[in-house]
Amino acid sequence: MKTTTKVAVECSHLPVLSSRNQAWGNILVEQFQHLPGEGRTYYQDEHSICLSLAPRPVSMVQRQGDQTRTGAYRKGDCCLTPAGMPFFARWENDDRFLQMRIASRFIQSVATEALEMNSDSMELVPEFRIRDPQVEAIGMMLLTELQQENLGGRLYIESLVNVLAVHLLRQYAATKPKVPVYGGGLPQAQLRQVLAYIHDSLDQEIKLADLAALLGMSQFHFIRLFKQTIGMTPYQYLLQQRIERAKQLLQHSDRGIIDIAFLCGFNSHSHLSQQFRQLTGMTPKAYRGQC
């Protein structure tokens, strides 16, 4: 499975899919597919996670820093290479994998804001051929976003990246954090403030950082407290409200469906139709026809 392009000397191995032009902020996600070969990478300011997508085991020689290990990567296996660590791999079979490169400065900010860690002494440890169901699940959700051209939107991506960052710090930091516990959800005044902001901005791109900043808390804690309060994530609530607005416009206006899509924060007719069908079981056109 792992590391494959030569970064620093941009390699001829190009990704099959990439988030490079999708403004995902603190993470770059790319899917690769290679014939047998070898590659080196070095990311000064990014932690790299590689998740094997190969349908058959891939025999691998892998070197992280001064440690060399061998083994067969199976679909779902992953490896973690901390920022600033040279990486080399040689693979004997056709290889497919998903690479997630998360900014080290973002990991440091999460360590400080969400986990009350000293970011100056925070470091992740390298891992070889591990099974981590949460990393795999997040990786597959990010891959789906790549395949669907970021259908979920910025808030969804940011939520996934925050959860991934906290998980990496909890599981793979050299010094384990003491995770603060916040219970009780959001106070009603704060909840009203956030919901009003969302309702007033349904036609715009809503960022997780903006919602958390309204209440002066870390993004990770905002996600947790929001879900404790209303039983769904900020992204799920935003999607629900956009669909409700679309319903109102379909029922009480003669606007075209493409116009309704933009007014409700969707980037295309097909984007609205897919999300509308998932939540209501019918297309916008069919819904309008029964009103």
Give the pLDDT confidence score for residue 150 in this predicted structure.
61
Q: What is residue 14's predicted lDDT score, i.e. its pLDDT?
A: 82
Contacts 24+ apart (CB under 8 A), 10-16: 11/39, 13/39, 15/99
For residues 276 and 246, is the Cβ–Cβ distance under 8 A? yes
Token pair listed for 276: 């509308």
Neighbours of 14 (CB within 10 A): 11
DSSP for 182-203 reads: --S---HHHHHHHHHHHHHTTT
17-172 topology per CATH: Jelly Rolls (2.60.120)
Q: Say what the pLDDT of residue 115 is.
A: 80
What pairing do the DSSP bridges indicate for beta strands 37-41 and 67-73? unpaired
Do the first three CATH levels of 17-172 and 245-290 match, i.e. the same topology?
Answer: no
Rounded to the nearest 10°, the torsion over CA 179, 104, 84, 11 is 130
Domain ranges of the chain: 17-172, 188-235, 245-290
Instruction: Identify the three-state secondary structure at position 67.
Output: strand
Give the pLDDT score at 11: 42
Q: What is the pLDDT of residue 188?
A: 92
Give me the pLDDT at residue 148, please.
84
pLDDT of res. 187? 92
pLDDT for the residue numbered 72: 96
Among candidate residues 10, 16, 79, the one with its CA nearest the CA of residue 41? 10
How far is it, in rounded angstroms, from Cα 172 to Cα 209?
25
Residue 181's pLDDT is 62
Contact 102, 49 (CB under 8 A): yes
- CA dist 1 and 252 (Å) reads 53
Which H or E element spans position 101? strand 95-103
Amino acid present at 8: A
State both tokens at 248: 């109102």
- Which CATH code, of 3.40.50.12240, 3.90.1150.200, 3.20.20.120, 1.10.10.60, is assigned to 245-290? 1.10.10.60
CA distance 21 to 73: 29
Mean pLDDT for back-to-back runs of 10 residues, the chain (291 residues): 39 80 91 94 97 96 96 96 96 95 94 79 90 96 86 85 93 79 82 95 92 92 92 93 95 93 91 90 91 72
Q: CATH top-level class for 188-235?
A: mainly alpha
Q: Are strands 37-41 and 95-103 parallel, antiparallel or unpaired?
A: unpaired
Query: How high is the pLDDT of residue 152?
Result: 65
Give the integer Cα–Cα distance in Å for 89 and 60.
7
